[in-house]
């Protein structure tokens, strides 16, 4: 018997089909690619391009987009520091399940705080699931993201109509331990396909694109 959270008399139920069986069926290893960066840095664009590239190679992935999740799983959360932490925690738990299912889970969220990203790394490093985590930091300058402003949010934040907006009046803490960092080169952003190719190369080098 084990006690989990505030619940008691909770048991873990093992099933005869395990993670290794699922990975052999899919011919890949479950892992999590977590894309972090400012709003407008290109996270969703990279996530979709990566999913398309993996699909073309016969690999099964699923994108957990931060905005999409706030339409359902996290629709009761706001943008206070506490709600942001809970948002990341929930997504980390879901990503962990996807990885255990044998999928390549692509999580695309601003995830601005180091402590929350570190908590996800710890969660996804537990030996129970042996899930793998790759942080991809889209290190794009605020000026570029604000110039893009695809959702018009920076304009609203600058006008004071949105409070607690990351990069304006709420901090973004850059990761110091990411596996992949993508930046401009000579002032030019890599294309979505180039960024996806960089991530796929990493996954391939780590052996994630074939079963153990």
Q: How far apart are CA 185 and CA 188, in angstroms?
A: 5
- Among 129, 161, 170, 144, which residue's Cα sits nearest to residue 42? 144
The first and second tokens of residue 185, run together, are 């080169």
41 has catalytic annotation = no
Q: Are 41 and 169 in contact (CB under 8 A)?
A: no
Q: Are 114 and 173 in contact (CB under 8 A)?
A: yes
> Which CA distances in Å does 21 have to 29, 88, 126, 141?
11, 29, 19, 43
The active-site residue out of 56, 61, 111, 201 is 111
* Strand 31-36 versus strand 104-108 pairing type: parallel
- Catalytic residue numbers, as ranges: 111
């Amino acid at each position: 018997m084990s006690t989990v959270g505030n619940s008691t008399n909770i048991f873990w139920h093992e099933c005869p089909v395990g993670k290794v069986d699922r990975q052999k069926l899919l011919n890949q290893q479950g892992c999590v690619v977590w894309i972090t960066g400012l709003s407008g840095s290109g996270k969703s664009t990279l996530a979709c391009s990566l999913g398309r590239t993996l699909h073309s190679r016969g690999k099964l992935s699923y994108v957990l987009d931060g905005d999409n999740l706030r339409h359902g799983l996290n629709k009761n959360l706001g943008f206070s520091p506490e709600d942001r932490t809970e948002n990341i925690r929930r997504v980390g738990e879901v990503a962990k399940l996807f990885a255990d299912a044998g999928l390549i889970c692509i999580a695309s969220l601003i995830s601005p705080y180091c402590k929350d990203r570190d908590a996800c790394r710890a969660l996804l490093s537990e030996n129970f699931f042996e899930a793998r985590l790759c942080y991809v930091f889209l290190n794009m300058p605020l000026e570029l993201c604000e110039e893009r402003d695809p959702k018009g949010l920076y304009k609203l934040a600058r006008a004071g109509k949105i409070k607690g907006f990351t990069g304006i009046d709420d901090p973004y803490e850059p990761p110091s331990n990411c596996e992949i960092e993508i930046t401009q080169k000579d002032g030019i952003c890599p294309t979505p396909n180039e960024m996806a190719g960089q991530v796929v190369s990493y996954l391939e080098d780590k052996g994630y694109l074939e079963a153990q």
